[in-house]
Structure 1
Amino acid sequence: MITGVILAGGLNRRMGGKHKALLPVQGEAILLRQLKEMSRGCEQIIVVTNDIETLQPLLVGVKDIDVQCVSDHYLQKGPLSGIHAAMKVASAAHVWIVGCDMPFISIDAAKVMTELCRESNLDAVIPKIEGRLHPLHGIYAREVGPETELLLGQQSYRLMGLLEHLDWQSVDGDYLLQRGLRTNFVTNINTPEEYESMLENLPL
């Protein structure tokens, strides 16, 4: 089984202060879309946020999905801090980590990567789409939690730095396409311009 984790602890500076998790895509906030997708295959869903008051109205309105909110132990230290906080309470052996600005996450891709992680006894499996690694939308073994704490204690906050300490493998787009999976799940939104461009290119 899988624990799904949504990292929603950023300051959203590049989005002009608008919380990316609440941006609407096809009539639904990104966070709500993510919760629905995770509920299709995750036994536990965790939202890491330091702004529960902003997200709470949306979470309260989610029916039949049990969501646990936790805060960073190391405040404003990026995704690595969010992964650390999630690993403290994750119940499944494998944890699916996504950013709150990713409207098209895929539980089917997460399941394929989790199976690879389990079968190969890896610490992590990371998608590599069009030559670029996407550690957010990656699968991580729960046992990497202590490694995140060690790095944070050393004031090493780079998420890619975590991978340097793990036994991990990438999966490319062709691998996923051969299994009938889409690869747009890595799409993320950082700026108003990227958001508008994404909306303009949505399929009708």
Structure 2
Amino acid sequence: MDDITGLVLAGGRGTRMGGVDKGLLPFRGLPLAQHALQRLAPQVGSCMVNANRHLERYAAFGVPVYPDSLADYAGPLAGFLCGLAHCSTPWLLTVPCDTPLFPHDLAQRLARAAAAENAEIAFAAAPEIDAQGHTRWRDQPVFCLLQASLRPSLLRYTAEGGRKIDAWARAQRCISVAFDQPGDDARAFANANTPQELHALENAR
């Protein structure tokens, strides 16, 4: 656990939420990002937040807050790069602020799989039902455990204009880890991109 630093990604534009700072929207009595932070903190040695607005409000959560070094809301990889720049442990674990029900054993399961496969990056993968009612697996690349030593590679990729997590990650030793154990919450990786989705998650039991 002490080898992993946790990072809550809260630096997006919140476009589908009407441009609001999504991480500060209320969820069961707490801001979304704080809820994610409290869920992540017991799983890792230390935590930080990546945010680009209202930094003083995020700082009130009690952990370091860092903005993107890339301009113009460059997406999750900008958050990854921010986290790696401030990570003092061998591994960084990223989680988005808008998926508040992610597994309590996320770090453990990703780390175990990475060690077993000698991987540099481990994504979570979860089942979802498509329009035809078929179950298919989908990577959740923002739920990412990655080696801190990958920072030079990510710096090069983003400096060349790259912004796709998958495209960069698949050039490394990368694995997908299926979250398909008995008792896993089917909503664990459901995210709130719209007010309606947030309301549905808040009322899920």
Q: TM-score range by the shorter chain?
A: 0.7 to 0.9
Q: Determine if the alignment matches structure 1 residue 169 to structure 2 residue 175.
A: yes
Amino acid at match of 2:17: M
Structure 1's unaligned 5+ residue stretches are: none
Amino acid at match of 2:64: Q
Distance 2:17 2:115 in 1: 37
Q: Which residue of 1 aligns with 2:66?
A: 70
Pick the aligned partner of 2:120 from 123, 129, 144. Answer: 123
Distance 1:33 1:46 in 2: 13
Residue 126 of structure 1: how far off its partner (Å)? 1.0
Q: Describe the SS at the equivalent of 1:40.
A: helix
Any conservation in 2 of the 1:109–1:181 contact (CA below 8 Å)?
no
Distance 1:9 1:58, change over 3 A: closer
Distance 2:43 2:202 in 1: 27
Provide TM-score, normalisation by structure 2.
Answer: 0.86
For the aligned residue pairs, the C-alpha RMSD in angstroms reads 1.8
Distance 2:178 2:116 in 1: 17
Give the number of the structure whose residues are more often helix, by fraction. Answer: 1
Distance 1:17 1:5 in 2: 22
Residue 183 of structure 1: how far off its partner (Å)? 5.2
Pick the aligned partner of 1:89 from 86, 89, 94. Answer: 86
- The runs of at least 4 consecutive aligned structure 1 residues that moved more than 3 Å come to 180-184
Q: Determine if the alignment matches structure 1 residue 112 to structure 2 residue 109.
A: yes
Distance 1:109 1:188 in 2: 16
Q: Deviation digits for residues 60-117 of structure 1, max 9, x if unmatched?
A: 2x4xxx5111111112111111101110111121111111111113341221211221
Q: Describe the SS at the equivalent of 1:4.
A: strand
Amino acid at match of 1:138: C
Any conservation in 2 of the 1:108–1:181 contact (CA below 8 Å)?
no
Q: Which residue of 2 aligns with 1:13?
A: 15
Q: Describe the SS at the equivalent of 2:105.
A: helix
Amino acid at match of 1:187: A
Residue 9 of structure 1: how far off its partner (Å)? 1.1
Pick the aligned partner of 2:147 from 138, 141, 145. Answer: 141
Distance 1:171 1:143 in 2: 21
Count of equivalent residues: 193
Residue 120 of structure 1: how far off its partner (Å)? 2.7
Percentage of pairs with the same residue? 24
Any conservation in 2 of the 1:22–1:31 contact (CA below 8 Å)?
yes
Distance 2:125 2:83 in 1: 23
Distance 2:84 2:55 in 1: 21
Q: Which residue of 1 aligns with 2:31?
A: 29
Provide TM-score, normalisation by structure 1.
Answer: 0.86
